[in-house]
Chain A
Amino acid sequence: MTAESTLTAAPAPGAAQAPPPPDRTPPAAGRKRRPAWDEVPRWQIYLPLGIYLVFTLVPFYWILLFAVRPAGSTSLLPWPMTGEHFEKVWTERSFGVFFQNSLLIGVAVLVMTTVVALAGGYALARFDFRIKKGFMLALLCSQFVPGALLLVPLFQIFAELRMINSLGSVIIAETVFQLPLSMILISGFIRNVPYSLEEAAWVDGCNRFSAFRIVVLPLLRPGLVAVGSFAFVHAWNHFLFALMFLSSQDKQTIPVGLNTLMGADSVDLGALAAGGVIAAVPVVIVFAFIQKWLVTGFSAGAVKG
């Protein structure tokens, strides 16, 4: 049997499954039958959802309103509309540069975290070694250490490496902090892939790496999306390391730039809202594209992790 035929025969772990059909069995005597999904009045579904949506979306509406409303306007509707705040933050406040830096850091952290977490996660899932439990415990415990606690030591290390005011310092620090959780998650995903699939690939002539690449890696797509997006969003939003390790105006990131829009005694709310929209757009786009895989990925990793 080839790896391909094995794949077609085995259900993909983590793949979305069709929901079970509604239970239409008559209730036992004396018990009230629970109404089926399609028997529930639509308003009982959509009204709570609508209320929840309003509750969630009002802050976003408020940000958008301030971002497109002319300075000094108190209108509750985004009309008349202006792009002056976006122009101001993008050009005068250098958000164009900050955006590029944040994007570079986000993508780099995503790539590095995913690659290293795959290697580490595979080792944790497939090999037994003497300190494995202790190592897993250490990974878990590392999640309890706040980044601020390690700020000065990290600063001194990067200073020794001549990496202060280099994007590399933030990329490395963010990756290091992302790795423990990512490795644990990825190892959970890999454990869900039957070992027999890899063994079958070995029988067909693959070595361990090619069996992993050809057989296991494609099945990990939901997990990779989950871990990668989590790493990207965290790096995109993270503030502390960028604030401390980067100084030059041309190296700063979006969260640091947003913070400078709030002065000691004065705040340009229009510019701040426009900056907030610019900061939120990539994250919203990322989640819009990957939400299906993200939910599947996290639930698959969570069940058997």
Chain B
Amino acid sequence: MTIFPGGRRRAAVALALTGVLALTATACGDDGSGAGGDKGTEGSGKGKITFWDNNGGVRTDVWKEIIADFEKANPDIDVEYVGVASKEVQSKYDTAIQGGALPDVGGVGAAMLAGIAAQDALEPLDARVEDSALKGKLNTGMVDSVKAAGGQDKLFTVPTSASNGVLYYRTDLFKAAGLAEPTTWSAFYTAAGKLTQKDKNRFGYTIRGGAGSIAQALDAMYGQSGITDFWNGDKTTVNDPKNVTALEKYAGLFKKTTPAADVNNDFTKMVAQWDSGEIGMLNHNLGSYQDHVKALGTEKFRGIPNPTLDDGTRVQVSNPVDGLGLFSSSKNKAAAWKFIEFAASHESNSKWNKSAGAIPANTEAAKDAWLQEAEPTKLAADVLFSGKATIVQLPYYLPDWNTISKADNEAGFQKVLLGKATAKEFLDGLAEQLNAAQAEWKQQKK
């Protein structure tokens, strides 16, 4: 009896497949050297370096272009590009720090900088910048922001770009309803109410109730309360009565002027429903501008800075500055630094930020013509650098910031939206966690 017709031939194929698998299993791997705390070496300045892009996929094309330019200018250096999805980059870095296999260069946003720097995985870059062509050409505000975010008064990343909160609004819907541009919070709330026609599935606003909701809620709170500091001594101001009132009003929009499904809105759903429906306003950052252009064209919407108080006072929370870090375990730091220097130079930085619609850190790139033509980016840059806005610096330097501002409290904010908790209860809980994290951080610094 035979199990299968043609059994011998199949058995041979199975055997061959097993052989291939055995070869696959053992060939071409890395030893994973390069854990957090490894000292690394300066190297020859030639050879291969690895670069992890912290927003892989979306920015892959522009990075590959920059890498090709770099390799043309530095034929002795090969850059291996690794695109890592933004949502997973923190865990990928954490695993590589514990187990080895860190890259030579990596994109590190300010929100995760403190945690990585605290594990001795990043090389301080102050001296390298001083001796390089980048000296004096990096936006001082972004440099300060990155230094503060690292938590050790050292420059652990070369800043490359910044984003900012933007209020996108549908000009066609505003015009039809005879509404003024929502430049103030009063105008914002009026428009949200007037544009809502639930029976026609039209809403004035879409609120972020899912992943990433906390930063957006904080922006709305501080923008309305006008409180200009995150800390009052060792205590946070998030549960200040003015902030509580502001959050009550903001969360009160849910279901009155927003879709009920917004309770689960992460930015993907929020942007998708704004782009495809009839919703008056959306808060997001500069990163989604191109998506709106693709969906709506440039005529049907505008992106303006977040609203001000009625007297024109503008307060907003800081957005994480993105940057490039040199990992201390690198065996070829000289070549890795050359790449960072090249990527942060005028031409490359301009190219990257133009593609991303973000604000360049290189001051020469920030003067390029494209920035004047990209309206939301230009307006955001004006707000950030005009000195007319007060920026509330969020405590990115706290190693627990990411956990507190995401996993630990997003469900709590949903309860506020659903009326299962009050704004005060939620903010008191948030304040308690922040105060404890701040105290712990100060203790560790001593």
Contact = CB atoms under 8 A, between A and B. Distances in A.
A259 B29 contact: no
B24 A171 contact: yes
A93 B57 contact: yes
Interface size class of A (residues with CB under 8 A): 35 or more
Given A168-B24, A269-B268, 11 more contacts: A72-B295, A74-B276, A112-B21, A160-B31, A162-B32, A164-B100, A218-B1, A218-B3, A260-B57, A264-B109, A266-B287
Contacts of A269: 268, 272
A109 to B, nearest CB: 10
B58 interface: yes
Interface-centre pick from A104, A161, A257, A269 (highest chain B CB count, 10 A): A269
A9 B276 CA distance: 65
B285 A265 contact: yes
B61 interface: yes
Contacts of A262: 57, 85-87, 268
Interface string B89-113: 0011001001111010000010000
B14 A111 contact: yes
10 contacts: A156-B32, A158-B29, A159-B31, A159-B100, A166-B25, A166-B29, A171-B24, A248-B82, A260-B58, A267-B291
Contacts, number: 165
B130 interface: no
Contacts of A183: none
Classify the interface of chain B: helix, strand, loop or mixed.
mixed
Nearest to A89: B57
A73 B92 CA distance: 36
A169 B32 CA distance: 12
Interface of A: 3-4, 7, 71-72, 74, 92-93, 104, 107-108, 111-112, 151-152, 155-156, 158-169, 171-172, 213-214, 217-218, 243-244, 247-249, 256-257, 259-269
A107 B31 contact: no
B287 A263 contact: yes
Contacts of A267: 267-268, 271-272, 291
A152 B55 contact: no
A261 B27 contact: no
Contacts of A159: 30-33, 99-101
B193 interface: no
Given A111-B17, A164-B32, A165-B29, A261 B57 contact: yes
A248 B83 CA distance: 8
Interface-centre pick from B31, B32, B81 (highest chain A CB count, 10 A): B32
A152 B91 CA distance: 11
B311 interface: no
A162 B28 CA distance: 8
B24 A244 contact: no
Nearest to B290: A266
A295 to B, nearest CB: 22
Interface-centre pick from B24, B82, B95, B288 (highest chain A CB count, 10 A): B95
B87 A259 contact: yes
A278 to B, nearest CB: 15
Contacts of B98: 152, 155-156
A47 to B, nearest CB: 28
A257 to B, nearest CB: 8
A72 B290 CA distance: 11
A164 B290 contact: no
B294 A72 contact: yes
Contact of A162 (B29, B290, B294): B29
Contact of A164 (B1, B91, B101): B101
B284 interface: yes
B28 A3 contact: no
Interface in B232-291: 267-268, 271-272, 276, 284-288, 290-291
Contacts of B33: 159
Contacts of A218: 1, 3
B59 interface: yes
Contact of B294 (A71, A107, A166, A171): A71
Contacts of A152: 95, 98-99
